[in-house]
Structure 1
Amino acid sequence: MSPAAPPVPPSAPRPAALQPLLPSDPSSIAGYRLLGRLGAGGMGVVYLGRTDNGELAAVKVTHADQADQADFRARFRREVEAARRVSSPWAVPVTGADPDAPEPWMATAFVPGPSLGEAVAAHGPLPERSVRILGGALARALAAVHAAGLVHRDVKPGNVLLAVDGPRLIDFGIARTTGETALTSTDMVVGTPGFLAPEQAEARAAAIGPPSDVFALGCLLAHAATGRPPFGTGAVDALLYRTVHDEPDLAGVPDGLLDLLRACLAKDPAPRPTAEEIADRLTEDTPGAPADWLPAPVVRTIAERSAAMLALPEIDATRLGASEGGGQAPPSRRRFLLLASGGAVLAAGGGVGAWAALRDDDKGRKAATPGGKRRWIIGVQADLTGPAKDIGRAQERGARLAVERFNARADKPFTLEVTVSDDGGDDRRALAAARVLTGDPDVLGVLGPTSDYTGLAALPAYDEARLPLITVSAGLNLLTNRATGQGLSVLQACPQHAIAGTHVAYYVLNKTGSVRPGILQERTDDTYAWQYIGGANFAFRQGKVAPVPRVVPGTTTDYKRVLGEMIAEGMDAYVHCGLTPSAVLAARALDELGFTGMKASGQHVFGPRFLAEAGEAAEGWILGAPVVDPATRKEASAFVAAHRKRYGAAPAYYTGESFDAVNLLLQEVEKIVKGGKAVDRTAMTTILRKVTYKGVMGDYAFDPEYGSLSSATVGTFIYTVENGRFKPLEFAPAGPPKNRRV
């Protein structure tokens, strides 16, 4: 599901996001007994803790390597100080902290309810009265923040927790004293795109103040009232641009809130109302008691999560102490059994992790085969039953062929098996599908996921486990975005979408000599299309041509009018940056208009659906894809023969690349084993990023820091549609025509 798609309400509320503790987790921190994990990422872990008197807390613990960074402790100490300075019933209080500990930690009161973002995604927009009470309480929380001389700077749906008696504002991690810029680069955008003010989007540090929080509050309330952010979704650059230049989308906001939200969302900070003024305006006409301020489905979610908290295990009669060796006592099997029996919250949220932690009786089950060789697992996370099931099944077959070939060797130093986890192409299932694989210590690495957004949703599990994740089809740049602390585990064995857009545009210039290429972005999948059009625009600038641009909503159907205007402006070639349904409409429109220039698009149009739905209008189109037809590669002949023997057909697209990705991993693991060293899967990503591998589909090398595919290796392959089929042509060129004259 793309970020631009409307939320699909599930049939039941999602369970609380509590995962069992891992064997490496401590059992307690500074008097807080740890009951489970609330979340984890590249910076650290948030645990659910409980004091001896039964009070629950969210305990945030940072990784030791983060604490070693020069300015990290200063930032963490400022977060603690900022949170302690705010006194409001609508802001979550700090209950304990130690910024100077080897692993700095901070505890805040625990609120069992969902975040505002979760509630809106699961149950849809809130009614006007709920939005008014929400806004009034948050405005009062912000008034307390501003009275303490602070600016929160990250007011967003994920930082608001919902309770029966009202909302709670959380996370002061990037809060700053008013006017303070010493620890912030003047050109750094701080905050969450889509929920930040224009002055934040333009990194005007001196202009950021309390009115910036008011703008963010306006965005948040618009999201709560309509179910969508007022500046859309998608690529970061696109969100920042719209925040600064576009008017907010307030369609569907109740009339009683429109004027106030428009005032909050003024581009200029000066006329925005203060937090106190907002609180007064939102609560003056609010009838009834606040206890029934939320719709029944949201209240039911809060009740279920609260009941799950009450079902957690009792405090042990004796404290967990140190082991005889002086170190931390390892988590006991009994403690994990108690956690697993603690209610639906654990059974639904972390059953796989709990199973992995309870493997004492199975120790050695996969340690060795009857022949005495170690057995490892290759994981595959793929869409096997959803919209991209053909690609997912092809990737699974590629992995199985690689494993079968390895196991057939007489000199193999270990044996392999395959475990497949189907996410159905649904980003809401992706994280659970990932934990099936990361929770098994015998999994060496994982091929997948199939799509961009399942990959993004699953990423926290792989980063937390430091388990190598090799994708041959997910080209989203956010998968390798170290700036956000994510993507530590990823290798992208395919070009990123922006690079692929550059490749296709270079092909158009080299083959046509175009001087006025048309370029259209449709916004069904804003992130993909924005990256693709950005790459294509870069190529056209390199080629010294000025394209004819258009950006259209994802709901646009009148492509004949839009493309007719582009032709009238001199368009002599066309690049479509979007998905298959709109490409079909564009193909039909260009055919009716008699357009004879080159027509091109990318990965998300390359597939049988475009051929079937566009029909004759697809003839002659150029498609760039991150896959090569195995029939064009003599190096792949043995692989093709093995696939035919195993599956009775020629390999589908993405099978060969998946075969290569698994063999890349196995090559390096085998080197380690033959060198007499132990295999540490948490170190494999770093090793793989430094490798150049010659596969049957081409050569692979990666950026050693980010894990993205090196520009010097496998790139974008070009196909044309001929007689209703994709005909392979060649790899796209690496640059514009030389000595080009315009």
Structure 2
Amino acid sequence: MTSELLPSDPSRIAGYRLLARLGEGGMGVVYLGRTDQGALAAVKVIQAEYAAEPDFRARFRREVEAARRVTSPWAVPVTGADPDADSPWLATAFVPGPSLAEAVAACGPLPPRCVRVLGKMLAGALDAVHAAGLVHRDVKPGNVLLALDGPRLIDFGIARSADDTAITSADMIVGTPGFLSPEQAEARGAETGGPSDIFSLGCLLAYAATGRPPFGAGAVDALLYRTVHDEPDLDGVDEETAGLLARCLAKDPAERPTAAELDEGLVDDAPEDSVDWLPDDVVRMIAERSTEMLALPDIEPTRADAASDETPAAEAAERQASASRRKFLLAAGGAVILAGGGVGAWAALRDDSSPAADNAAQARGWTIGVQADLSGENKAAGRAQEQGARLAVEQFNSRRDKPFNLGLKALDDGGSPARAPAVAKQFTADRRVLAVLGPTGDETARAVLPTYDEALLPLIAVSPGAMDLPKADNRSFLAARPGDAMVSVPLGLYPAAEHKSARPGLLQDRTAGQYGWESVTIANYGMRAFGRVPYPRVVPANLEDFKPVIADMLKAGVDSFSYCGYAEGAGRFARDLAAAGFTGPRIAPQAVLDSQFVESAGEAAEGWMLAASFVDPAAVPAAKTFTSAFRKRYKAAPGYFAAEAYDVVNLVIQQLVAHHKQQRSVPDRRTLVGLLRRSSYRGITKPYAFRPEDGRFKAGGVFYHRVEDGAFRHVGPAPSTW
């Protein structure tokens, strides 16, 4: 967590403007800094008494030079240093996530695969540290920071020698050594080399797996004695991991594996720019901590209406709304049955099928359900999904070779999280319902997950995209689209990779809350992956006048804009951007692909690029037959998500027919969940495939749309990774 600068703190160190305090230790203070180009850094400034010691400066200089040679994606890189300054300083890349110690303390021990993946990445980091001639000397949970794309090992040996490793440092976990090697515990300085780091890593991984240090806690002398003489406590560690940790925790340094050997021995794959290896509660903690600490939301937000008395109130309202969303996210993992149900809610539910259609469906046999917003704010998307699904069922029933008949039952939840669980209960209580498409939005999806999970009824989400929905403890969920984070990848790559933008501008609108933060974070990663440092700005919720923000960004040399927010704000931003004469690359996420944007922006919307998880079937050759059939059936062009719902129903039908052909029966719900999660299907919109363990979509499926002549024009596939 950050804290405000003290009056005695400097405002700048070399090329870094200091913005806040990150922490203070025995040798100095660590600040949050930012370069003039917008890059963030953790800047460690050494205290004067150490700076006055020539030997200290010499050691510091040698270790800075060595640290610059450390190259690993899992070790925080040095971005600048001056050991000869009056106050020697060192800058490393800033990681906004929580430490491993904080994550385990808040969320409990990590699952076995997570521990092994973590060990593999940290072993790779230590291999790079050792290859650079360094010994870390302080591998502990507090020195491992968790980020969206993996952990980062920090503070590797800087300004420390083997002789001055602190064995009673106050910043150790629970005030005890806990993670020291026997060599360190006995102050055998000359023997404290690479194997000492491996022992400490073994302690760290044991802590991650069990939530406790392997040599216990208590009095320092007793703990150090146990470290040197006793066997580690690995009770609760899975057998595969325990064997490897026992080697790391050998008393004899010569018997421990090297970092490279440990990396090779841990075969679990490291994450590929995803958080899939971490438990969902830790992912949420990373997101929340990043929201609070990361520069983009919190560092120098541009207050275009700073003189207005309404701004603090708006920001306070946003903070309260964010807190409510976070509480809801945490509650969504359990049984969320909201107040406001009962007789009134049940009476308000509208079954979109007529009584005759219901009777016909029952006579035909098995049913596919559609839970959707058919009357609320997102009714256009809900209606499109219901229509696409119904067309797929009708076409199947028209086939002469069909092995059975299908019905389709659509229920309206109005897009209300309070009403949605009652709709889910109707579907789960109907044993003829084999699978359900929906709901339409993220909040309603979170509200119904417990109900569908309890019944093990497959729930296939066509439009929701929040990153916390697909997770291992949701047993029946499948995401039929890439998540919002992956859909936001083009926001970084479109300006940085496709237009070679020298200074991309990155704007987060706080009106969009968590969605805006996810979009801006992923865009930031994508830009930096191509060597572009964005110029970030954040604006208060519901900002009316973007002109001062735009003027500031253009003055800084911004030559492209990635807007991260909702359609309403994007319309105002587009108008003000056009008024400033800017016509370069402009891109926004899926939430902006809404008629409200073009209606609000008018001519200023022309040329904007949007990234989305759906297609316009009228512009996709493979969907020509579908588009024609849809127009014939509904006397209108298909809306967004209609073709995707059509695809998903045909995916379900594919699995039902295949199982019926082999077993001469329709699969039960539990079996169908497994079949769907292991399935692959080439739809008219995109390929479909899922991760079997959590139902996460894994087949690409991101598309560009551009505003032309006041309408959205489908362009084609867009990148979903960098």
TM-score normalised to the size of structure 2?
0.52
Give the aligned partner of residue 640 of structure 2: 653
CA–CA distance in 2 between the matches of 1:367 and 1:720?
A: 41
TM-superposed CA distance for 1:581, in Å, is 1.2
Secondary structure (helix, strand or coil) at the match of 1:410 reads: coil
1:466, 1:683 within 8 Å by CA — same for their partners in 2? Answer: no
Q: 1:410 to 1:561 in 2, by over 3 A?
A: same
CA–CA distance in 2 between the matches of 1:243 and 1:510?
A: 29
TM-superposed CA distance for 1:646, in Å, is 0.5
Please list the CA deviations of residues 28-82 of structure 1 after superposition, one character each: whole Å capped at 9, or x if unmatched.
Answer: xxxxxxxxxxxxxxxxxxxxxxxxxxxxxxxxxxxxxxxxx999xxxxxxxxxxx
TM-superposed CA distance for 1:555, in Å, is 2.6
Q: Which of 518, 521, 525 is the matching residue for 2:505?
A: 518
Q: Which of 208, 211, 231 is the matching residue for 1:184?
A: 211
Q: 1:556 to 1:237 in 2, by over 3 A?
A: farther
Secondary structure (helix, strand or coil) at the match of 1:420 reads: strand
Give the aligned partner of residue 155 of structure 1: none
Q: 1:345 to 1:618 in 2, by over 3 A?
A: closer
TM-superposed CA distance for 1:182, in Å, is 8.4
TM-superposed CA distance for 1:529, in Å, is 1.3
Give the aligned partner of residue 462 of structure 1: 452
Q: 1:238 to 1:679 in 2, by over 3 A?
A: closer
TM-superposed CA distance for 1:551, in Å, is 2.2
CA–CA distance in 1 between the matches of 2:638 and 2:341?
A: 43
CA–CA distance in 2 between the matches of 1:547 and 1:352?
A: 49
Q: 1:586 to 1:491 in 2, by over 3 A?
A: same
The answer as to 2:499 corresponding to 1:450 is no
CA–CA distance in 2 between the matches of 1:407 and 1:551?
A: 52
Q: 1:515 to 1:444 in 2, by over 3 A?
A: same
CA–CA distance in 2 between the matches of 1:541 and 1:732?
A: 18
Give the aligned partner of residue 634 of structure 1: 621
1:480, 1:488 within 8 Å by CA — same for their partners in 2? Answer: no
2:369, 2:435 within 8 Å by CA — same for their partners in 1? Answer: yes
Identity %, equivalent residues: 41
Q: Which of 685, 689, 695 is the matching residue for 1:701?
A: 689
TM-superposed CA distance for 1:664, in Å, is 0.4
CA–CA distance in 1 between the matches of 2:286 and 2:715?
A: 33
CA–CA distance in 1 between the matches of 2:400 and 2:348?
A: 35
The answer as to 2:404 corresponding to 1:404 is no
Q: 1:550 to 1:237 in 2, by over 3 A?
A: farther
Q: 1:510 to 1:380 in 2, by over 3 A?
A: same
Q: 1:516 to 1:381 in 2, by over 3 A?
A: same
What are the ranges of 5 or more consecutive residues in structure 2 without an aligned counterpart?
A: 1-109, 113-206, 214-282, 300-308, 311-337, 350-357
CA–CA distance in 2 between the matches of 1:235 and 1:552?
A: 23
2:478, 2:677 within 8 Å by CA — same for their partners in 1? Answer: yes
Secondary structure (helix, strand or coil) at the match of 2:586 reads: strand
Give the aligned partner of residue 578 of structure 2: 591
CA–CA distance in 1 between the matches of 2:111 and 2:686?
A: 42
CA–CA distance in 1 between the matches of 2:341 and 2:419?
A: 16
Secondary structure (helix, strand or coil) at the match of 1:399 reads: helix
Secondary structure (helix, strand or coil) at the match of 1:445 reads: strand
The answer as to 2:224 corresponding to 1:237 is no
1:516, 1:548 within 8 Å by CA — same for their partners in 2? Answer: yes
CA–CA distance in 2 between the matches of 1:472 and 1:419?
A: 16
TM-superposed CA distance for 1:244, in Å, is 6.3
Please list the CA deviations of residues 670-711 of structure 1 after superposition, one character each: whole Å capped at 9, or x if unmatched.
Answer: 11112124511122222111111011112111122221211x
1:679-698 equivalent positions in 2, closer than 5 A: 679-698=667-686
Secondary structure (helix, strand or coil) at the match of 1:477 reads: coil
Please list the CA deviations of residues 562-597 of structure 1 after superposition, one character each: whole Å capped at 9, or x if unmatched.
Answer: 122112112111111111111111101101111122
The answer as to 2:545 corresponding to 1:558 is yes
Matched AA of 2:405:
T
CA–CA distance in 1 between the matches of 2:408 and 2:341?
A: 30
CA–CA distance in 1 between the matches of 2:539 and 2:714?
A: 30
Give the aligned partner of residue 728 of structure 1: 714
1:401, 1:659 within 8 Å by CA — same for their partners in 2? Answer: yes
Matched AA of 1:459:
L
Give the aligned partner of residue 615 of structure 1: 602
1:200-349 equivalent positions in 2, closer than 5 A: 236-241=285-290
Secondary structure (helix, strand or coil) at the match of 2:469 reads: helix
Runs of 4+ in 1 over 4 A off after TM superposition: 242-247, 344-353, 364-368
TM-superposed CA distance for 1:350, in Å, is 8.6
1:516, 1:547 within 8 Å by CA — same for their partners in 2? Answer: yes
CA–CA distance in 1 between the matches of 2:703 and 2:341?
A: 47
CA–CA distance in 2 between the matches of 1:181 and 1:573?
A: 43
Give the aligned partner of residue 382 of structure 2: 392
1:352, 1:436 within 8 Å by CA — same for their partners in 2? Answer: no
Secondary structure (helix, strand or coil) at the match of 1:480 reads: coil
Give the aligned partner of residue 574 of structure 1: 561
1:700, 1:709 within 8 Å by CA — same for their partners in 2? Answer: yes
Q: 1:396 to 1:367 in 2, by over 3 A?
A: closer
Q: Which of 691, 700, 703 is the matching residue for 1:717?
A: 703
Matched AA of 2:481:
C
TM-score normalised to the size of structure 1?
0.51
1:498, 1:533 within 8 Å by CA — same for their partners in 2? Answer: no
Q: Which of 514, 538, 543 is the matching residue for 2:530?
A: 543
What are the ranges of 5 or more consecutive residues in structure 1 without an aligned counterpart?
A: 1-68, 72-179, 187-233, 253-304, 309-343, 354-363, 737-742
1:522, 1:578 within 8 Å by CA — same for their partners in 2? Answer: yes
TM-superposed CA distance for 1:237, in Å, is 3.4
CA–CA distance in 2 between the matches of 1:578 and 1:698?
A: 26
Matched AA of 2:458:
P
CA–CA distance in 2 between the matches of 1:444 and 1:530?
A: 36
Give the aligned partner of residue 49 of structure 2: none
TM-superposed CA distance for 1:433, in Å, is 2.1
CA–CA distance in 1 between the matches of 2:515 and 2:676?
A: 26
Secondary structure (helix, strand or coil) at the match of 2:488 reads: helix
CA–CA distance in 1 between the matches of 2:292 and 2:522?
A: 22
The answer as to 2:526 corresponding to 1:528 is no
Matched AA of 1:656:
A
Give the aligned partner of residue 425 of structure 2: 435
Matched AA of 2:370:
V
CA–CA distance in 2 between the matches of 1:545 and 1:624?
A: 20
TM-superposed CA distance for 1:734, in Å, is 5.0
Matched AA of 2:573:
A
Q: Which of 487, 490, 496 is the matching residue for 1:509?
A: 496
Matched AA of 1:731:
P
TM-superposed CA distance for 1:524, in Å, is 2.2
Q: 1:421 to 1:506 in 2, by over 3 A?
A: same
Give the aligned partner of residue 327 of structure 2: none
Give the aligned partner of residue 162 of structure 1: none
Secondary structure (helix, strand or coil) at the match of 1:518 reads: strand
CA–CA distance in 2 between the matches of 1:242 and 1:527?
A: 8
Q: 1:714 to 1:648 in 2, by over 3 A?
A: farther
Q: 1:352 to 1:654 in 2, by over 3 A?
A: closer
Number of corresponding residues: 403
Secondary structure (helix, strand or coil) at the match of 1:524 reads: helix
Matched AA of 1:584:
G
2:361, 2:406 within 8 Å by CA — same for their partners in 1? Answer: no
1:103-114 equivalent positions in 2, closer than 5 A: none
CA–CA distance in 2 between the matches of 1:398 and 1:462?
A: 22
CA–CA distance in 1 between the matches of 2:208 and 2:404?
A: 55
Q: Which structure would you say has the larger RCO, counting Cα contacts within 8 Å and 6 or more residues apart?
A: 1
CA-atom RMSD in angstroms: 3.4
CA–CA distance in 1 between the matches of 2:686 and 2:579?
A: 40
Secondary structure (helix, strand or coil) at the match of 1:703 reads: coil
TM-superposed CA distance for 1:416, in Å, is 1.3
Matched AA of 1:575:
S
TM-superposed CA distance for 1:238, in Å, is 4.4
CA–CA distance in 1 between the matches of 2:346 and 2:547?
A: 51
CA–CA distance in 2 between the matches of 1:443 and 1:477?
A: 27
Secondary structure (helix, strand or coil) at the match of 2:468 reads: helix
